[in-house]
Amino acid sequence: MAIRYLTSGESHGKALIGILEGIPSGLPVSSGDIDRDLRRRQGGHGRGGRMKIEADRAQILSGIRFGKTIGSPIALLIENNDWQNWQDIMSAELKLKGSDSKTVASPRPGHADLAGAVKYDTHDMRNILERSSARETAMRVALGAIAKRFLSEFGIRIGSYVVGIGRVQSSSPIGRDKVKSSENELLELFKIAEISPVRCPDKISSKKMVQLIDKALKEGNSLGGIFEVFAAGVPVGLGSHIQWDRRLDGKLAQALMSIQAIKGVEIGMGFEMSRKSGSEVMDEIFYRNSKFKIQNSKFYHKTNNAGGIEGGMTNGMPIIIRAAMKPIPTLRKPLHSVDINTKKPVKAAYERSDICAVPAAGVVGEAMTALVIAGAFLEKFGGDSMVEVKRNYNSYLNYLSKF
């Protein structure tokens, strides 16, 4: 395993901690590179009150010296500003008087509360919801920002945008029937999305999404949606067809599905491909014996229905991943539940929450995609320093240009 990473921390605990191992020495990294994506994760119309409390910043604890990685594990810390209001409730010491005030006994439908309480033998579901909370993704974004910084050294760029919230689905040019094959088109969509309040590059749909979120807020409801992540500039040959656990599409699907509230993942045309004939969806192969090259390979595709991955390996086209996020389970108008102690019918517990977090989930999707691709890149090219990795990579590009 070329890259390993772990996160730790609870939603209202002191802090989130992350460790990233495997990044070669000599990579320029600053806290600004990380904080930029942390701010993007906190944005988006429909976020809750927690975003007004937290101003996420990453503290670099180890693995970086004088602005460059040194090859050892990188440790990051993100403080939870809200900890000051939860010190007694989330104390690591013996229970203090009055600390039962935030005990959670009524599980929320659609959340980890009940299954986690049964699995971990607890009647206070705060022990479950604190860690299952999407607050944990702040650290994933921080670690992913370092992976992005690594990939950028090789011309690989990763971005995302929202294609649907609730029943409002974006129309062309980002519809489901046409998978993007142009890196320039993807980067332009990303640029437009970054100035949208819901991170959608379709301006008309963006306005409708904002209106739908406002309506859900008034009704005490929540909304899910669909976002798309792309990786442009990825060379051919990452991943492998040799074993099931080396297939890059499988790793990416697992990474995206691991994000809280994600219930479906597609690569390329995805499910839509199953409704068409083979002649309609297979990406035909062409060869141009000239200076025109895609990722230093003279073989190329005019379409990208496979989403940049065939047989578990990258084919030189942009990687396109689409993920579906369910509505957030915590509702201002709680659904029916059962008290885990008395077994009597109650209304589900309410924790301060977002109305819609699809724009933020896209940023988390970028981070997970970056971590997976960075791992596959290092598995392919190896190297303990950036100088060594670049030497190996350039040698491979030279090989591709002659294939």
Q: Quote the distance between the C-alpha of residue 186 and its chain's center.
A: 17
The domain locations on the chain are: 4-401
Q: What distance lies between CA 234 and its chain's CA centroid?
A: 18
Measure the CA–CA gap between 365 and 340, rounded to whole angstroms. 34
CA distance 139 to 228: 21
Can you tell me the mean pLDDT for 116-124? Answer: 95
Average pLDDT in the chain: 91
Which phi and psi angles does 115 have, rounded to 5°? Answer: -60, -40
Query: Which range among 172-181, 240-249, 327-336 shows the weakest confidence by mean pLDDT?
Result: 172-181
Query: Given this model, what pLDDT does residue 402 score?
Result: 81
pLDDT tens sequence across 194-239? 999 999 999 999 999 999 999 999 998 999 999 999 999 999 999 9
Q: How confident is the model at residue 50 (pLDDT cuts 50, 70, 90)?
A: low
DSSP 239-264: B-SSSGGG-HHHHHHHHHHTSTTEEE
Q: Residue 297: name the closest of 309, 289, 308, 305 by CA.
A: 289
Q: Is residue 261 very low, low, confident or very high in pLDDT (cuts 50, 70, 90)?
A: very high
Strand-strand pairing, 309-310 and 313-314: antiparallel
Give the whole-angstrom CA distance, residue 99 versus residue 102: 7
CATH number of 4-401: 3.60.150.10
Give the range among 77-91, 97-111, 203-217, 324-338 with minimum mean pLDDT.
97-111
Our CA angle for 161, 164, 170, nearest 5°, is 85
How buried is 35 (Cβ within 10 angstroms: 0-12 exposed, 13-18 middle, 19+ buried)? middle
